Amino acid sequence: MIFKVDTVLRKRIRLTKERWNKIITEKHPMMKGHIDSIQETVKKPDLIRKSRWDEKVYLFYRRSAEYYICVVVKMENSTGLIITTYITNKIKIGAEIWKK
């Protein structure tokens, strides 16, 4: 386990070692070294949106300099699992769940 953190939605989100290794080796290697920013994004997001494609997937956004960090979380009841994370300059379309 890399970390578990509670969110503003009162859900406990986790990032496993296996998922983290997949993110930094296969999906988004540029996220290596950003664990603290990822955790902070889940704990204190600027915005949370629901995915247009999967109602159980939430996108947590936090502004960082000239871009956003997006953390994509699959929710299951009162918990969630980070499935990916990436840097973007654009917030995806989707229902707004929470805003700072």
Mean of the per-residue pLDDT values of the chain: 96
- The pLDDT of residue 12: 97
Task: Quick: pLDDT tens for 10-43.
Answer: 999 999 999 999 999 999 999 999 999 999 999 9
Instruction: Write down the pLDDT at residue 35.
Output: 96
Whether 65 has a pLDDT exceeding 90, the answer reads: no
Give a yes or no: residue 100 inside a domain.
Answer: no
| Domain CATH number, residue 87 | 3.30.2310
Q: What is the pTM of this model?
A: 0.96
Q: How far apart are CA 6 and CA 2, in angstroms?
A: 14
In a domain, 69, yes or no: yes
What is the span of the domain harbouring residue 30? 3-95
| Local structure of 1: helix, strand or coil | coil
Q: How far apart are CA 45 and CA 43, in angstroms?
A: 6
For residue 21, give the H/E element and its range.
helix 17-22
> Considering the domain boundaries, does residue 47 fall inside one?
yes
Report if residue 29 sits inside a domain.
Answer: yes
- Maximum Cα interatomic distance, the chain, rounded to a whole number of Å: 34
Per-residue pLDDT, 59: 98
